[in-house]
C-alpha cells in the first residue's frame, strides 16, 4: 500500500468556467485509523456538475472537498467494517479516507456488476433518473419522454429507464453528432438531435412531432424554454439540473414562456436525489435483471489515475464524457 496520501483542495473561486488553476494537489502521510474508524483506499471518484456550483461558495477554500467515492477498506478498527470491504462514501478528491461505519454503505459485489456501476446507473446518477421519471413525472406507459444532456450520466440512465418503464417514444438532445448516434444506435432512443447544431425548438418539434409528455431537464435555460414550448397538455417536467447556467454570474434569460405552464396545465417540479434515498431498492429491483439481460447498459467515461481528476472534472463540464464521468484511482 502507498505510504503517501494525495488530495486536492480548492484554492480560489472561478469566474465563469473554471480553468483548473482553482485547484491544488497536495499530499500527506497515509492516516492511521483510530478506534471506531477504518482506512479506505479509494478506487473510484465521481466528478459531478453540482461541484461547479459548490466552487462558488459551498466548498471552503483550502478545506477538504467532498464527492461520491468508492474504495476498499484496508485497515479497520470499526465494528461492521472488514478489511477488503468495498464501500461507498462521500470523502472525494483524495486517494485515502478515514471513515466511520455510519458514513459508508458497504456495497454488494454482484457478479457482472462492476464497481463503476455503483457510481453510475445503480448509484446516485441512476437514482436521479429513476426519481425524475417515477416519483416526479410519474410516467405513464405510452408517453413521450424528452431528456436533455441525454448522453451524460443522468441522461443516459433516464432514456433507458424511460424505455424500461414503458415510454412510447424517447427523444434526447446531446452536444455532438457522435453522441446523437450513441443515443439512437446504442441506447435505444427513438430520435435525438445535436443541441449545438441548430434551432432547439425546431429540432425538438421534429424529434417529437406529437409533443412531449415528460421532460427530464438536466440543462435549464433555452432547453427548458424549448421543452415548455413542446409540451402537451398535462405534461410534467422533472427538473434535475441546469448545467447551462452553473457558470453564469447573472440569472438566465430563458425560459421566457413560463405562463405556458398555466395554459397547458403543466407541472414543473424540482427535486434533490438525496431526499429520495428510499427509492434505491425500487431502482435495483428494476435494473438488476435488465443489466443482467443486457437490455440496459451502464455507460461511463473513466479517467485513469488520480492526477487526472481536475481534467476529468473540466472535461465533463465541456461535454467530453458519455455516461457517468469518474476517475479510477487504483484497481478495485
Size of the site for ligand NDP (CB under 6 A): 30
Question: Residue 291 and residue 286: Cα distance in Å, rounded?
Answer: 9
Contact pattern from residue 268 through residue 307 relative to ligand NDP, giving x for each residue in contact according to CB under 6 A and a dash for the rest:
---xxx----------------------------------
User: Within 10 Å of residue 60's Cβ, how many Cβ atoms?
Assistant: 11
Chosen residue from 244, 291, 327, 329 binding ligand NDP by CB under 6 A: 244
CA 292 → CA 86, 130, 193, 255, 288, distances in Å?
21, 18, 29, 41, 6
- Asked whether position 117 contacts ligand NDP by CB under 6 A, the answer is no
- Asked whether position 237 contacts ligand NDP by CB under 6 A, the answer is no
- CB closer to ligand NDP out of 30 and 149: 149
- CB closer to ligand NDP out of 92 and 152: 152
- Asked whether position 310 contacts ligand NDP by CB under 6 A, the answer is no
Residue carrying C-alpha cell 429491483: 285
Q: What is the smallest separation between the CB atom of 145 and ligand NDP, expressed in angstroms? A: 15
CB 193 within 8 A of CB 207: yes
Which range binds ligand NDP by CB under 6 A, 73-81, 160-168, 242-250, 282-290? 242-250
Q: Is the dihedral of CA 122, 124, 128, 129 positive or negative?
A: negative
Taking CB under 6 A as the criterion, which residues in 151-180 touch ligand NDP? 151-155, 174-176, 179
CB 327 within 8 A of CB 305: yes
Question: Residue 211 and residue 207: Cα distance in Å, rounded?
Answer: 9
- Asked whether position 125 contacts ligand NDP by CB under 6 A, the answer is yes
Q: Which among 182, 136, 183, 149 is positioned nearest to 163, based on CA atoms?
A: 183
- Asked whether position 149 contacts ligand NDP by CB under 6 A, the answer is yes
Contact pattern from residue 205 through residue 224 relative to ligand NDP, giving x for each residue in contact according to CB under 6 A and a dash for the rest:
-------------xx-----
Which range binds ligand NDP by CB under 6 A, 54-62, 81-89, 238-246, 253-261? 238-246
- Render the burial of 35-50: b for 16+ CB within 10 Å, e for the rest: eebbbbbbbbbbbbbe
| Beta strands 144-147 and 105-106, pairing class | unpaired
- Asked whether position 9 contacts ligand NDP by CB under 6 A, the answer is no
3-state helix, strand, coil in the chain (%, to 5): 30, 25, 40
Q: Which residues contribute to the site for ligand NDP (CB under 6 A)?
A: 48-50, 125, 128, 149, 151-155, 174-176, 179, 195, 218-219, 240-244, 271-273, 316, 319, 321, 325
Amino acid at each position: 500500500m502507498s505510504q503517501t496520501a494525495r488530495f486536492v483542495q480548492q484554492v480560489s473561486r472561478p469566474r465563469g468556467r473554471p480553468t483548473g488553476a482553482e485547484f491544488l494537489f497536495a499530499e500527506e502521510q497515509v492516516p492511521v485509523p483510530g478506534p471506531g474508524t477504518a482506512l479506505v483506499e479509494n478506487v473510484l471518484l465521481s466528478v459531478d456538475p453540482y461541484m461547479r456550483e459548490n466552487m462558488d461558495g459551498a466548498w471552503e477554500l483550502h478545506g477538504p472537498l467532498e464527492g461520491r467515492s468508492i474504495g476498499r477498506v484496508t485497515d479497520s478498527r470499526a465494528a461492521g467494517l472488514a478489511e477488503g470491504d468495498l464501500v461507498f462514501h462521500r470523502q472525494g478528491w483524495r486517494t485515502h479516507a478515514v471513515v466511520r461505519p455510519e458514513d459508508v454503505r458497504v456495497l454488494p459485489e454482484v457478479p457482472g456488476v462492476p464497481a463503476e456501476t455503483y457510481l453510475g446507473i445503480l448509484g446516485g446518477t441512476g437514482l436521479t433518473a429513476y426519481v425524475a421519471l417515477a416519483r416526479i413525472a410519474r410516467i405513464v406507459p405510452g408517453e413521450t419522454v424528452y431528456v436533455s444532456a441525454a448522453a451524460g450520466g443522468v441522461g443516459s440512465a433516464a432514456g433507458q429507464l424511460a424505455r424500461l418503464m414503458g415510454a412510447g417514444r424517447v427523444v434526447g438532445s446531446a452536444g455532438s453528432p457522435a453522441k446523437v448516434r450513441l443515443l439512437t444506435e446504442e441506447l435505444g432512443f427513438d430520435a435525438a438531435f445535436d443541441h449545438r447544431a441548430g434551432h432547439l425548438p425546431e429540432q425538438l418539434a421534429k424529434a417529437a412531432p406529437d409533443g412531449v409528455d415528460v421532460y427530464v431537464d438536466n440543462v435549464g435555460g433555452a432547453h427548458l424554454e424549448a421543452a415548455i414550448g413542446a409540451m402537451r397538455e398535462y405534461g410534467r417536467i422533472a427538473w434535475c439540473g441546469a448545467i447551462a447556467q452553473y457558470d453564469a454570474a447573472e440569472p438566465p434569460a430563458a425560459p421566457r414562456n413560463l405562463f405556458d405552464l398555466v395554459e397547458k396545465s403543466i407541472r414543473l417540479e424540482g427535486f434533490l436525489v438525496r431526499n429520495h434515498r428510499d427509492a434505491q431498492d425500487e431502482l435495483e429491483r428494476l435494473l438488476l435483471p435488465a443489466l443482467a439481460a443486457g437490455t440496459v447498459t451502464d455507460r461511463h467515461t473513466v479517467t485513469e489515475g488520480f492526477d487526472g481528476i481536475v481534467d476529468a472534472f473540466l472535461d465533463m463540464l465541456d461535454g467530453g464524457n458519455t455516461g457517468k464521468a469518474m476517475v479510477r484511482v487504483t484497481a478495485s
